[in-house]
């Protein structure tokens, strides 16, 4: 299969994997937040009852988890496409 075909085949798969990655990352974040903060709900930026430090810590943790999960899913998808098509999606 040509490199162009691999790229075209990867696009819809990449979109679906991105949606799945977001759901997985959200679930992981909620579990990690419960374990670390002992609180059921992560703070929203506009929650006036929460302190700056707590809000910024939650945002940093959430961003790190989303980035790691997204990178793992993207990398795994690219490896899968290479196995199926013989070329690396760009």
Residues 15-73 pLDDT 10s: 888 999 999 999 999 999 999 888 778 898 999 999 999 999 999 999 999 999 999 99
Cα 66 to chain centroid, rounded: 4
pLDDT of residue 6 exceeding 80, the answer is no
Residue 4's pLDDT is 67
User: CB count, 10 Å around CB of 25?
Assistant: 21
Q: Which two tokens stand for residue 16?
A: 């679906």
* Predicted local confidence at residue 29, as pLDDT: 95
Contacts of 68 (CB under 8 A, 6+ apart): none
For residue 26 the two structure tokens come to 């959200």
Residue 12: CB atoms within 10 A of its CB come to 9
Compute the C-alpha angle 56/58/60, nearest 5°: 70
pTM of the entire structure? 0.80
- Angle (CA) 22-23-26 rounded to 5° is 85
């Amino acid at each position: 299969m040509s490199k162009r075909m691999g790229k075209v085949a990867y696009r819809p798969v990449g979109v679906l994997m991105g949606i799945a990655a977001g759901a997985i990352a959200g679930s992981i974040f909620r579990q990690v937040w419960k374990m670390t903060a002992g609180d059921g709900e992560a703070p929203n930026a506009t929650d006036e009852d929460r302190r700056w430090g707590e809000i910024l810590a939650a945002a940093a943790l959430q961003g790190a988890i989303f980035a790691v999960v997204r990178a793992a899913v993207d990398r795994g998808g690219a490896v899968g496409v290479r196995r199926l098509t013989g070329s690396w999606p760009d």
